[in-house]
Amino acid sequence: MSDVYPVPDRVRIGTNNPITSMDTYRSAAAHAQNDPDQFWLDETRRNVVWRTPPTLGVSGNFRNIVDSPITWFADGTLNITESCVDRHAAEHPNKVAIVWESDTPGEGYNITYKELHQQVCQAANALSGMGLKKGERAIIYMGMVPEAAIAMLACARIGAVHSVVFGGFSAEAIRDRVRDCGAEIVITQDQGLRGTKAIPLKNIADQALQGESSVKQVLVVQRTGGDVTWVDGRDVWWHDAVGNASTEHTAVECAAEDPLFILYTSGSTGKPKGLVHTCGGYITYTQYTHRTVFDLRDDDVYACVADVGWITGHSYIVYGPLANGATTVMFESVPTFPDAGRYWDLVERHKVTIFYTAPTAIRALAAQGDAFVTKYDRSSLRVLGTVGEPINPDAWEWYYNVVGERRCNIVDTWWQTETGGIAIAPIAPATPTKPGSATLPMPGILPVLLDTDGERITGPGEGRLCIDHPWPGLARTVWGDHDRYGAVYFTTFRGYYFTGDGCRRDADGYYWITGRVDDVINVSGHRMGTAEFESALVSDESVAEAGVVGYPHPIKGQGVYAYIVLQPGVTGSEALAKELNLTLRRLIGAHARVDLYQFVPGLPKTRSGKVMRRILRKVAEGEPEKLGDISTLADPSVVEAIVAGCKL
Ligand code: WT7
C-alpha cells in the first residue's frame, strides 16, 4: 500500500470551499449523483450570470447520442463574458485580472478587471465592425499575450465561435482547421516569443491562407515589430482596429447550448476532431472545478503555465479563473529561460499562491537540481497542480518536498479536451493524496472501469476508464460530424463515454490512470495521433510504409518511435531521419518529431494485411520477449529483423 499524505494545515485552514473535508466531499458527490439536475442547477444559478436563468437540467443520454444529443440548461440564455468580465469589473474594478509574464522577465504588465472589460468591449466592437457575426468562426493563432485571451472573450461576447490553434502548429495544420470550421476571420500576431526565439506567426498564417477564400480578414497584434508579409485590404492591425474602437459594448445574448468554441484534438484515426464546447454547461463546469479543486481564495494569485492553444489554457487560464474573478497569470516564456529557475522566480515576483503545470516540466526541472528552486522564495505557494499525463511518484515527491516544502497540497488533475474540465482530482483542502494517483472523481463524475468484454469491474481492479452520466462540461459534438462523435466516444462500450485511458482503482477507491489504451500518444503532455504521424511520413517520397508508436521516455513521458519501410533503392541514414523530421514539422508542427527511427524491411502484418501494432509497441517498449502469439503473422522473419535492429 502506498503512502497517504494528509492535507497540510496551511491548505485546510482558512478555506471557504464548499468542500472542506471527506465528509462534505461525500455528501456533495452523493447529491450530484442522486439529483444531478438539482445539483448543477443550484450551482449554475448561484455562480454564473444568466440573462434567463435555466429551469432545465440535463437531457439526452449516452445510449443514443445521435438521436438524443446531450444538453444542459437548455432553456437558459446568457453571455459568458458577463460572468468572466462584467460582474467583476463592477464589483472589484481594480483587482488584477491578468498578470502578463512576458518572455523577458520583468517586461510584462497587469490588466485590471476594469481594463479587461474595456479591452474586451473594444475587441468585440472591432470584430463586429470587421463583419464577424454570431455563430461564425474565428481562428486564433497566437502566442501567450493578453490579446489572445481578449480575442477569445471578444468572440464569445458577440456570440462568434473561436478555435484557438496552438502557436507551434504548421501552416498545413492551420489550413486544415480553417477549412474544417469554415473560419471567416483569423486573429494572429506578428511574431511569438519563446525564450528569445521568434516564431513568425503572421507569416505562417499567411502561408496557410493562400487560396483560402472563406477568410475575409486577418487581425494582427503587434508583439515584436518584426517584419511580416501583408495583404492589403485583408489584414488589419489590432492597435488600429481595436485601439480605436468604443469601450462600450452590449454582450450578445446566447442560448445555453450555443457553441462557445471549437478545439481540435488528435484521436486514434483520421484528422484531428473539432470538439465543440457550449456556453452554459462549459462555464458552469470550469468555474466550479477551478474554484473547488484549487480552493480559490479572494487574494490568490493563480498561475497555470500552460498555453491557451490547449484545453488547459481555455479552461484554467482563461474561462474558469476569470469566471471566478481570480487573478490569472499568462506566461509567455519557457520554463528554462533564462534558466531552470524561471517558474520559481515567477512565483517569488508575483507571490503566486496556486501553481499548475505538467509532469514533463516537473521531471525536466527536477533533473536540473534543487538549487534553481531553493534560490527563490516560495512561501506564498499553497496548492500545486499537475495535468496532462500520469505523474510518476518520484516527480510527485520532488514537487511536494522540494517545490512545496511539504506545506502545499498536490492536486493531480485528470481530464481531457472532451471533458471540458477536471474530472478526477483531489479537492485541495479535503482530499488526502497518494503520489501518482489522481485520487477521486469530482462530484457529478461517475467513473466506471470496464474489462475488454465491457463488463463492469467493481471494487479494486484495472480496466478501461469510462464515465457513466453526462456532466455539464462534456463536449457536445464534433464540429460538422455528430456521427463521428457518437462513433468515437459512445460505441466501444455502449451506454458509456469511453475516455481512451486505462485506469486502476485501489482498495480506497482512488483512481490511478495508466495511460492511453488506444493509438494516441502523449509526448510532454501533447496529445498526438500515431495515424497523423504515419500519414505525414508516408507522404515523403522515400517512405513506403510507416508504423509509429510511443515508448517510455524519462522526461517526456512518451517518446515517438517510428518504424520505416523505405521505397526500393533508398537507404536509411541519419540524414534521412533528419529530413523526415522536417517533413513532420512542415505538415504537423514544431512539436511533432520522431525521437527514434528504425528502418525495417517490412512491418509485421497478419495474413489479412493488418499491421500488428502490439508487436511494434512491445519492441519499442524494450520488451521483445513479451511479443505473445505471433503465429498469425504473414512473414515471421520481419519480426526477427525488427527485434535485432531495435534502437533502444
Ligand atoms: C489525455 C487528455 C487535460 C488537459 C491536458 C491534456 C492524459 C491528462 C492526466 C493526469 C494521467 C492524464 C490522459 C487523457 N492525462 N491528465 N492527471 N494523469 N493522464 O488534454 O490533450 O485532451 O489529453 O491526457 O491520457 O486522456 P488532452
Separation of CA 475 and ligand 1 centre (Å): 15
Instruction: List, in order of start, the domains of the chain with CATH numbers.
Output: 520-644 (3.30.300.30)
User: Does any ligand 1 atom lie closer than 6 A to the CB of residue 360?
Assistant: no
**Mean of the pLDDT values across residues 571-589?**
96
Minimum CA distance residue for ligand 1 atom 21? 527
- DSSP H/E element including 34: helix 22-34
The predicted pLDDT at position 38 comes to 98
Q: Quick check: CB of 518 below 6 Å from ligand 1?
A: no
Please give the number of the atom of ligand 1 that sits closest to the Cα of 425: 17
Is 516 a pocket residue for ligand 1 (Cβ < 6 Å)?
yes
- Ligand 1 atom closest to the Cα of residue 417 is 22
What mean pLDDT do residues 315-341 have? 98
pLDDT beyond 90 at 623: no
In 3D space, the residue among 145, 103, 557, 590 whose CA is nearest the CA of residue 361 turns out to be 557
Residue in 314, 345, 325 with CA at minimum distance from that of residue 156: 314
At 31 the three-state DSSP class reads helix
| Cell, residue 61 | 443520454
Q: What is the residue-averaged pLDDT of the chain?
A: 96
Are 202 and 236 a contacting pair, CB within 8 Å? no
Model pTM greater than 0.85?
A: yes
Q: What is the per-residue pLDDT across 51-82, written as a single tens digit (0 to 9) for each?
A: 999 999 999 999 999 999 999 999 999 999 99
**Residue 426, all three cell numbers:** 483531489
Check if the beta carbon of residue 175 is closer than 8 Å to that of residue 186: no
pLDDT higher than 70, residue 1: no
Whether 312 lines ligand 1, by a CB cut-off of 6 Å, is yes
Cβ(495)–Cβ(466) under 8 Å? no
**Rounded to whole angstroms, how far apart are CA atoms 455 and 284?**
32
**Which atom of ligand 1 is least distant from the CA of 525?**
6
Q: Name which residue sits closest to atom 13 of ligand 1, judged by CA.
A: 389
Ligand 1 geometric centre to CA of 333 (Å): 22
Contact 218/236 with Cβ under 8 angstroms? yes
Helix (H, G, I), strand (E, B) or coil at 432: coil
Distant-in-sequence, close-in-space partners of 248: CB < 8 Å, separation ≥ 6? 121
- The size of the chain, in residues, is 648
Q: Alpha-carbon distance 129 to 158, whole Å?
A: 11
Cell of 332: 509567455
- Centre of ligand 1 to C-alpha 541, Å, is 34
- Ligand 1 probe mutation, 311, 419, 527, 558, most atoms within 8 A of CB: 527
Ligand 1 midpoint to CA 215 (Å): 32
State how far Cα 237 lies from the chain centre.
29
pLDDT in tens, 397-433: 999 999 999 999 999 999 999 999 999 999 999 999 9
**124 Cβ contact list (under 8 Å, min separation 6):** 154, 157, 158, 249, 251
* Residue owning the nearest CA to atom 6 of ligand 1: 388
Q: Is 147 in the pocket of ligand 1 (CB under 6 A)?
A: no
User: Whose Cα sits closest to atom 3 in ligand 1?
Assistant: 416
- The string over 554-582, giving b where at least 16 C-beta atoms fall within 10 Å of a residue's C-beta and e elsewhere, is ebbbbbbbbbbbbeeebebeeebbeebbe
Q: Is the beta carbon of 500 within 6 A of some atom in ligand 1?
A: yes
Tell whether ligand 1 has an atom less than 6 A from the beta carbon of residue 307.
no
| DSSP at 573 | -
488 contacts 68 by C-beta, under 8 angstroms: no
Handedness of CA 402, 326, 415, 409 (dihedral sign): positive
C-beta of residue 603 within 8 angstroms of C-beta of residue 637: no
Q: Is the pLDDT of residue 615 over 70?
A: yes
Tell me the three state secondary structure of residue 32.
helix
Distance of CA 499 from the midpoint of ligand 1 (Å): 10
362 CA to middle of ligand 1, Å?
Answer: 16
Q: pLDDT grade, residue 196 (50/70/90)?
A: confident
Is there a contact between 392 and 360 (Cβ–Cβ < 8 Å)?
Answer: no
Q: What is the mean pLDDT of residues 543-572?
A: 96
Asked which of 32-36, 129-133, 522-526 is least confident by mean pLDDT, the reply is 522-526
Is residue 434 within 8 Å of residue 510, measured between CB atoms?
Answer: yes
The neighbouring-strand residues paired with 81 are none
Average pLDDT score over residue span 309-314: 98
CB of 419 closer than 6 angstroms to any ligand 1 atom = no
Provide the β-strand partners of residue 384. 355, 410
Q: Is the CB of 512 under 6 A from ligand 1?
A: no
Cα–Cα distance, 589 to 579 (Å, whole number): 14
**In this structure, what is the dihedral angle of CA atoms 197, 145, 110, 357, given to the nearest 10 degrees?**
-80
Determine whether 434 is exposed, middle or buried from the number of CB atoms within 10 Å of its CB (0-12, 13-18, 19+): buried
The residue whose grid cell reads 504473414 is 634
Please report the beta strands in 461-542, taking only residues with DSSP state E, as ranges in sequence order: 461-467, 477-478, 497-505, 511-516, 520-523, 526-529
Which atom of ligand 1 sits closest to the CA of residue 526? 21
Ligand 1: does its nearest atom lie under 6 Å from the Cβ of 522? yes
- Testing ligand 1's pocket by substitution, the residue of 262, 293, 356, 387 carrying the most ligand atoms inside 8 A of its CB is 387
Measure the CA–CA gap between 472 and 252, rounded to whole angstroms.
22
Q: Quick one: which atom of ligand 1 is closest to the CA of 315?
A: 4
pLDDT band for position 624 (50/70/90)? confident
Going by DSSP bridges, is the β-strand pair 596-599/197-199 parallel, antiparallel, or unpaired?
unpaired
Nearest residue CA, atom 17 of ligand 1?
Answer: 414
